[in-house]
Amino acid sequence: MIQHMGFSAIALCVSAGFTAWAQAQQYPQRPVRVIVAFAAGGVADLQTRVVAQKLGELWQTSVVVDNRPGAGGNIAAGIAAKAQPDGYTLLTCNFATHGLNPAAYRRLPYDPLKDFTAIAMIGTAPSILAVHPSQPSRSVSELIAFAKANPGKLTMGSSAGGTSQYLSVELLKMMTGVDITYVPYKGGAPALTDLLGGQVQSVIAALPTVIGFLSSGRMRALGVTSATRSSQVPNIPTIAESGVPGFEVVGWNGLCAPTGTPLPVISKVNADTARALNAPDTRQRLIEQGTDARPMTPAQFEAFVRAELAKWAKVAQAVGLKLD
């Protein structure tokens, strides 16, 4: 009897495994929804649409982008966390939902690790540290030396709140110990306007918003916030290589699925996302948006998310950041 039950259990396990494998081979059989935490036209939305279009071509079915903005990304993540874990609802997880928000909000409608499985990174979008031409520093290390020699006299602006640009300023202060006078703005555009007008000496701003000014000589780029140089401006060094080892702040977006989504489906979405990102036309479209494609395995992406959560928990605690 025990032996018979043992064989039955084995048979059930084999049957379940085969069923999951078969489902993955046939996936997707209907349109796939990708929930985006921000409004149409933003970086997260644009990156998702580029990849969704390519996935739709590969799968020969629709990949529908569903924008659910609000509460810094928490609304979208909460909806995705409660979705059926069958691979037909995905989330564009990002710097906010799976990086900053768990540290900055007291209550979340989801747990970034328990409620989601990391599938694939889409790409990263660095920011640029730039100075007004009247500021004498020609490198990040020179700017740090200037700030140390003149405590509180260096002004640095960025979009305020929980943006990656604001956190770049705070992380730079933490890692270098410099006394910088921070000037908050309601967005990147007014920060750049004041830099161009000389009202603020330096800014950290999103790469796409800065590029048009670099060749004009109206501002000078000192470094990018990513760990590696941007393919869009490869001549600009990273802040990490310019005197602040280990510095990295990037806006990023990837694909996550509700926990319980079959592993074969996770593997298929990851493999096809990598195919999409490695396509020359996809890479070019992302570069035009200021984004560097960064294909990763699910394990690599999960490790990246865990590192982001740990990093921003430390920074948020240090600066007392609370968004609710």
Are 228 and 66 in contact by the 8 Å Cβ rule? The answer is no
Contacts 24+ apart (CB under 8 A), 315-322: 315/103, 315/167, 315/170, 315/171, 315/174, 316/100, 316/103, 316/104, 317/103, 318/170, 318/174, 319/170, 321/103, 321/104, 321/162, 321/170, 322/104, 322/105, 322/106
Residue 51's pLDDT is 97
The whole-angstrom separation of Cα 263 and Cα 251 is 27
Whether the full predicted model's pTM is greater than 0.85, yes or no, is no
Quick one: DSSP state of residue 179?
A: -
Q: Mean pLDDT for each consecutive 10-residue tract of the chain (324 residues)? A: 49 51 80 94 89 97 95 94 98 95 93 98 94 96 97 94 87 95 89 95 90 86 94 93 94 96 97 97 89 95 97 88 83
Helix, strand, coil shares of the chain, percent, nearest 5, are 45, 20, 35
Q: Which pLDDT score, from 0 to 100, does residue 5 have? A: 46
Terminal C-alpha separation, the chain = 59
How do strand 250-258 and strand 89-94 relate by DSSP bridges? antiparallel
The 10 Å Cβ neighbour count of residue 297 is 16
CATH 3.40.190.150 residue window(s) in the chain: 2-125+252-319
Using CA atoms in the order 189, 190, 194, 197, what is the torsion angle rounded to 10 degrees?
70
pLDDT at 138: 96
Q: What class is the 2-125+252-319 domain?
A: alpha beta
Return residue ranges of the chain for CATH 3.40.190.10. 126-242
Give residue 208's pLDDT.
79
126-242, CATH topology level: D-Maltodextrin-Binding Protein; domain 2 (3.40.190)
8 A C-beta contact, residue 312 and residue 251: no
